[in-house]
Amino acid sequence: MFCAWIPAARDRMQALVALLCLLKMSSVTAQARYSVPEEQSEGSFVGNIARDLGLDLQRLVGGNARIITKDSQQYVDLNREKGILVIKERIDREELCGKTTPCSFSFEVILENPIQLYRVTVEVVDVNDNSPSFQKKEINLKIVESVAPGTRFSLVSADDPDVGINDIQRYVLKPLDHFKLEVQNQPDGGTFIEIVLQNALDREKEDTHTLVLTASDGGEPRRSGTVSIHITVLDANDNAPVCHRSVYKAEVRENSPEGTVVTTVEADDADKGVNGEVTFSIPHVGKEAKQLFDVNVATGEIRVLGKVDFEKSKTFQLNVRASDHGGYSDTCKVIIQVIDENDNAPTIQLMSFSNLISEDSPPGTTIAVVNVDDEDSERNGLVRCSINSDIPFKIESSLTGYYTIVTESTLDRETNPEYNITMTVSDQGFPPLSSTKNMNVKVSDVNDNPPQFSQSEYTMNIPENNSPGCSVFTVSATDADWGQNARLSYFLEEREINGITLTNLVSVNSDSGVIHAVKLFDYEQIKCFEFNISARDAGSPPLSSVATLKIVVQDKNDNPPQVLYPVQTGGSMVAEMVPRSADVGYLVTKVVAVDVDSGQNAWLSYKLQKATDRALFEVGLQNGEIRTIRQVTDKDAVKQRLTVIVEDNGQPSRSATVIVNVAVADSFPEVLSEFSEFPHDKEYNDNLTFYLVLALAVVSFLFITCLVVIISVKIYRWRQSRILYHSSLPVIPYYPPRYSDTLGTGTLPHVYNYEVCRTTDSRKSDCKFGRAGSQNVLIMDPSSTGTMQRMQSEKSILDDPDSPLETVGAAVSLRSKYKAYKKELHLRSLT
């Protein structure tokens, strides 16, 4: 038995070096790497991600930690509560990586608030779960008997999806009578198997031979696969085909159309006729290459059969066999290199995105994390990322293939409440391919704008005598903020105006800004006043602004003129004296009046309403001067009575009247004699009579009222005394002086002189009873001048501060007791 071993120590060393390099890199770039065998059951432990990345469990939960994968298939899941990674789906290393070693897959763990990104790589360790297998169960060979010993015949190698020690480690050929087995390792990691003729064949002795080829791996447990080789011995064919080149190298562009010629394999055979005809075949080819390439049996042209994808396989190796009809053959290698085409546009995957950002966020705040990938290679796989330039954001590169979009400057919601971000990713291939991603970011409001009035000062005119509660003015402010930050309230700044608090003058509706007058405004008391009104928003903290409002009270004609001169008195008579020698235009007197109103409401005019002789006097319209308009004569009466009316210029006008008495005389005695008989003013006499009658009526009413009260009191007291007389109340015995009652005997056989005690207006119906007569004590006066009866019961009643006698004062006095005693003596003398 012959065994061929395939050394794997070099592969294991390379894998170990690669693992150490990756571990070193992960410590620098915040990565984690784990190793897990394939075919693990769901829920199997992978690694403690929280401990290895130095993260707290609360951070994993609060940051909404999750796994982001580029592919739709996710093999590992994250348990945030325990901070561990577990198997989510069965992993088949052969399906995931094929023959690639080491086999691993990567994913990202992303956390929010703030955004953090970690890359995790999981290496899938191969287990020996596949047995070596041959493409065919039987191999048929035809060999001419004249073939010299040492001639080689290639065989199809077995395939084992496992790698490393679990891959095919040796081949065994049985029996070894005529052939031996040789195995050659190829640069691409494959094996080339040949059987070598050791002893010459003799068709006449044995025309067929059957061999068994066994392929076995080095796993635990060890697995193997077999194929039967049937050899038919033919008659002699002197020359074998010879390939022009042992190795052909060719290139083919990916996505080449079906039928594209890749290369042509050529071979010659020195024989003639049928033995010199060469045919081509690809006996030893993988499943993928068999679906992509085919060889023309007659010409040796290798053509594209399917879709060539650079991203799946970059190199193919075909073993083309050139055979003649005599059983001779030669094999050459065809190495096909796939040339990458820019056929994959970059892909954009949004890993994390915040569509709402506060306007007070500082520059550098992350709003999105994006993964960009291009499956092409070299320049076709190099990408450039950009965003539109008219926004305050920029894009930065973080990890390989990851980009973050951050704020570049401060934001202002009032200027731009939202932004549309367009991210463009293009590769450097020819022609370049690109992809775009649109994101909408809204800016949330903060209270950074105070309310604004349309003007800093307002002036409002309001007529006096307004109705209390009427609307005076409406102030309005605006706030550039939004929502609660823009809801305004209005307030008055408290102050005093002429000793009056502002809130007693005006009020403001906090919601609408309507200012109301609290009281009636009087122009004569206050002509104008200023106050501040503030607008405050409902933000946190609240912002406010202040405006000044000036209210000007406009005068109304609400005050009549007031006459200052001549002074009007109730009883005394004042007269102006005009000599009989007065000429025309003589100034008799001047009526002086004022009006507390202002403006035209205070413009006064004077008119003569009534006069004893209208032809003698006139009044100046503007100045109120009373002058004569003709020469005074002897026929003119001494006593002249003028009624002057004073009017203002308001609308409607108000007026006042004044009576001016004028005496036309040359001397005072003449004036006195005339005016002593001057009757009093009728209006004054009428007023005096009214007041006298009113006073008489009031006095009469008071007198009658007092009389009725006195009579009522007398009747009430008489009714009370009658009630006391007829009531059956307890009595208090009263003993006259010098009377002795000893053991029930005495001067009188019975006591029939009693004293009744009761409160007159007690609200209770009870009475106090005196003690029995046997308990009375009669104390004689030692001087024999009289006796003092001291009754214990009476003493208790009289001395008790709470007794009815003391509290109400309705008991019979000692004086009444004495009178009753005298009356009793008189009655006894009559009997």
pLDDT of residue 819: 59
| Domain pair 242-339 / 347-444, same fold | yes
pLDDT of residue 35: 92
C-beta of residue 122 within 8 angstroms of C-beta of residue 105: yes
Q: How far apart are CA 502 and CA 515, in angstroms?
A: 12
Between the CA of residue 197 and those of 147, 356, 700, what are the distances in Å?
Answer: 8, 79, 169
C-beta of residue 44 within 8 angstroms of C-beta of residue 90: no
Torsion (CA) 452, 489, 474, 522 in degrees, nearest 10: -120
pLDDT of residue 672: 66
Domain boundaries, the chain: 32-125, 138-234, 242-339, 347-444, 452-554, 562-674
Q: How far apart are CA 818 and CA 737, in angstroms?
A: 10
**CATH architecture observed for domain 242-339:** Sandwich (2.60)
pLDDT of residue 580: 84
| Omega of the bond leading into 102 within 30 degrees of 0 (cis) | yes
| Sheet with strand 76-79: strands edge to edge | 45-47, 84-87, 76-79
Q: Are strands 138-144 and 224-234 parallel, antiparallel or unpaired?
A: parallel
Contacts of 213 (CB under 8 A, 6+ apart): 134, 139, 155, 171, 172, 173, 181, 193, 226, 227, 228, 229
Q: How far apart are CA 129 and CA 544, in angstroms?
A: 77
pLDDT of residue 203: 75
CATH code that applies to domain 138-234 = 2.60.40.60
pLDDT of residue 23: 36
Amino acid at position 196, single letter: V
pLDDT of residue 823: 62
C-beta of residue 406 within 8 angstroms of C-beta of residue 367: yes
Q: How far apart are CA 382 and CA 380, in angstroms?
A: 6
Q: How many helices (H) and strands (E) does the chain have?
A: 11, 56
Q: ∠ at Cα 110 (107, 112), nearest 5°?
A: 170
pLDDT of residue 816: 56
Q: Which helix (H) or strand (E) holds 731?
A: strand 731-733
pLDDT of residue 807: 34
- What's domain 562-674's superfamily in CATH? Cadherins (2.60.40.60)
Between the CA of residue 326 and those of 171, 322, 608, 621, what are the distances in Å?
Answer: 28, 12, 163, 158
Q: Which helix (H) or strand (E) holds 321?
A: strand 315-323
Contacts of 644 (CB under 8 A, 6+ apart): 591, 606, 607, 608, 609, 619, 624, 626, 657, 658, 659, 660
pLDDT of residue 18: 36
CATH code that applies to domain 32-125 = 2.60.40.60
C-beta of residue 28 within 8 angstroms of C-beta of residue 119: no
CATH 3.40.50.1700 for domain 452-554? no
- What's domain 347-444's superfamily in CATH? Cadherins (2.60.40.60)
Q: How far apart are CA 564 and CA 588, in angstroms?
A: 17
C-beta of residue 290 within 8 angstroms of C-beta of residue 306: no
Q: Report long-range pairs for 775-778 (Cβ below 8 Å, ≥24 apart).
A: 776/733, 776/735, 776/741, 778/735, 778/739, 778/740, 778/741
pLDDT of residue 747: 35
10 Å CB burial of residue 349 (0-12, 13-18, 19+) is middle
- Consecutive sets of 10 residues in the chain, 831 residues long: mean pLDDT of each? 32 37 38 90 91 88 86 86 91 85 88 86 90 88 84 86 87 89 80 88 83 90 91 76 92 91 91 81 83 92 91 89 85 91 89 89 91 87 90 87 90 91 90 92 91 91 86 90 91 87 90 90 87 92 93 86 80 72 88 86 88 87 90 85 89 88 79 56 64 89 92 88 57 42 38 42 41 35 36 39 39 50 59 49
Q: Which residue has the tokens 């912002």?
A: 543
Q: How far apart are CA 90 and CA 36, in angstroms?
A: 11
User: 499 in the Ramachandran plot: left (φ > 0), alpha (ψ -120 to 50) or beta?
Assistant: left
Task: Identify which of 619, 596, 623, 595 has the alpha carbon closest to the alpha carbon of residue 607.
Answer: 619
Q: How far apart are CA 521 and CA 530, in angstroms?
A: 14
pLDDT of residue 424: 93
C-beta of residue 598 within 8 angstroms of C-beta of residue 523: yes
* Per-state percent for the chain, helix, strand, coil, to nearest 5: 20, 40, 45
pLDDT of residue 806: 40
Prediction pTM value: 0.51
